[in-house]
Amino acid sequence: MRRLLIAGNWKMNHGPSQSREFGRDLKAKGLQDFSPEILLCPPYVSIQALRESLEGTPVQIGGQNLHQEPKGAYTGEISGEMLKEAGCVYVLIGHSERRQYFHETDDLVHAKILRAHDAGLIPVVCIGETLEERENGITKDVITRQLKGALEGLSPEIMKTLVLAYEPVWAIGTGKTATAGQAQEVHAMIRKILKESFSTEISENTRILYGGSAKPNNAEELLSEADIDGLLIGGASLKTEDFYTIIGIA
């Protein structure tokens, strides 16, 4: 049985004071009765404020990225160990914005997954095709390449906890959501690749989130699909009300 995971990616939004306010508001709404796992990934400088304000709730905190080395002369970077020490449980890896603006490759994503695991963090690995790739009919090739590049050679131990997020790039921050059917089709394909590359057990147990303009008004339809095990939410995770509504739907 795959437990739903509702994750928010705040990107470069919400400094410490706004994060604290968000945490207090969310806590005040009451979170104890919800069954999905809940995760928020704030900017690094807001991790502590958000964690403190959500103390006593089941909300977990994650990083949005990490460096592939454990420490050293990498000005401006953050290590997995630092995220862990700051209270993070998860870390996003290979988000399309990292791939697009910071030139992250499948090889780098692979290295970061290993690093995250060594640091005791659970990787949430993002994959997804661009609009051009979808229109050229190569979605399957792109997804296969990204999956193999990121996951090939990973131990069953890492695969047991790792989470995948299918995020079609054309749906991120654009207001255009993949239809539930379009998302389900790719999720089922991902599961098939996992089965061929690893095992039936890993394929059936790996959680695959959908991300791309997920909102209160489309969450239910997306989550009703058999292979969609949660949502990675950008814009709609920035407002307590919207995020809380989506958790309630899940």
Which active-site residues does the annotation give? 95, 167
C-alpha pair distances (Å), 225 with each of 5, 10, 220: 14, 25, 9
Cβ closest to ligand PEP, residue 202 vs residue 231? 231
Could you give the string, one character per residue 122-161, with x where binding to ligand PEP holds by CB under 6 A and - elsewhere?
----------------------------------------
| Bridging pattern class, strands 122-127 and 37-41 | unpaired
Query: Which residue is listed with tokens 């659970």?
Result: 122
* Nearest approach, Cβ of residue 9 and ligand PEP (Å): 4
Query: Which part of the chain contacts ligand PEP (CB under 6 A), choosing from 64-72, 110-118, 186-194, 208-216?
Result: 208-216
Dihedral of alpha carbons 68, 73, 75, 76, sign: positive
Q: Which two tokens stand for residue 216?
A: 């209160």
Binding span for ligand PEP by CB under 6 A among 14-22, 147-155, 194-202, 234-242: 234-242
Residue 242 in contact with ligand PEP, rule: CB under 6 A: no
**Cα separation of 221 and 206, whole Å?**
21
- Residue 9 contacts ligand PEP per CB under 6 A: yes
Q: Nearer Cβ to ligand PEP, position 13 or 197?
A: 13
Residues 1 and 250: their CA atoms lie apart, in Å, by 15
Nearer CB in complex with ligand PEP: 13/18: 13
Rounded-to-integer distance, Cα 197 and Cα 204, Å? 13
| Residue with smaller CB distance to ligand PEP, 211 or 230 | 211
DSSP 136: T
Q: Which residue is nearest to ligand PEP (CB)?
A: 234
Tokens for 129, please give them. Answer: 């095709």
Q: Number of residues in contact with ligand PEP, rule: CB under 6 A? A: 13
DSSP-derived letter for residue 92 is E
Which residue's CB is nearer to ligand PEP, number 9 or number 139? 9
For residue 160, the tally of other CB atoms under 10 A from its CB is: 12
Q: Rounded CA gap, 238 and 18, in Å?
A: 10
CB atoms within 10 A of CB 188: 14
Q: Which two tokens stand for residue 3?
A: 């437990």
218 binds ligand PEP (CB under 6 A): no
> Which span sits near ligand PEP by CB under 6 A: 69-77, 114-122, 191-199, 205-213?
205-213
Among 49, 122, 172, 219, binds ligand PEP (CB under 6 A): 172
Could you list the residues that contact ligand PEP (CB under 6 A)? 9, 167, 172-173, 211-214, 232-236
